[in-house]
Amino acid sequence: MTTPIPATRFADPAPAEHLERAADALAAHGFTVEILDDVAAARARVEDLIPEGASVFTGASETLRLSGIEADINTSGRYDAVRPRVLAMDRGTEQDEIRRLTSTPDVIMGSVHAVTETGSLVIASGSGSQLPGYAGGAARAIWIVGAQKVVPDLPTALRRVEEHCLPLESARTQVVHGWPSAVNRLLVLNAEARPGRGTVLLLREAIGF
């Protein structure tokens, strides 16, 4: 049964017991989960988790941008940052190489649009560029997730995508690119088959969409 949640509530951080419930369910499904207090703790933990020199692709994410983690990865010089490389490549003549670089890095980083208390991660995308790496192409995946993204179940997660995330992302892309966003692709991760591959850093505070 779907638990009714007003759309305005999708911006509120979930209570501690809901975070614990989601973390336990994700762990039971093979994900590595850590509950952290705030963005500062997440930034420090990411530095611990990713070895220097690893190839790292940051998926488009307001959570990564607002937290400073995107800059930590792409401008610090500690890593082989994939995003700056592909942004400098020619979309017409180097598309195959772009696809390979973004799909199979050592580490892919980003966020999700919802995490359920039943142990699933939900990621929506317009282009789908980050989804191959998330789904299994990258050797490791790390998601930084604000507390407001925790929802009871999958139907509520899909509501959150359509009613909360999409309008905010469309407003952003309209300003940045001149066109609205769309949920063209949707990835639901119900379990992680490879122990240690997928890590969820679940924050007690809200950040991102």
**pTM, entire model:** 0.94
84 pLDDT more than 80: yes
CB–CB of 63/146 below 8 Å?
Answer: yes
Continuous segment of H or E residues that includes residue 54: none
CB–CB of 111/64 below 8 Å?
Answer: yes
DSSP state of 15: P
Q: How confident is the model at residue 89 (pLDDT cuts 50, 70, 90)?
A: very high
% of the chain surpassing 90 pLDDT = 92
Within 94-184, where are the H helices?
Answer: 95-103, 131-132, 154-160, 166-176
% of the chain surpassing 70 pLDDT = 96
Q: Give the model confidence (pLDDT) of 178-198 as tens digits.
A: 999 999 999 999 999 999 999
Alpha-carbon span 173 to 177, nearest angstrom: 5
What pairing do the DSSP bridges indicate for beta strands 121-125 and 114-116? antiparallel
Q: Give the model confidence (pLDDT) of 111-164 as tens digits.
A: 999 999 999 999 999 999 999 999 999 999 999 999 999 999 999 999 999 999
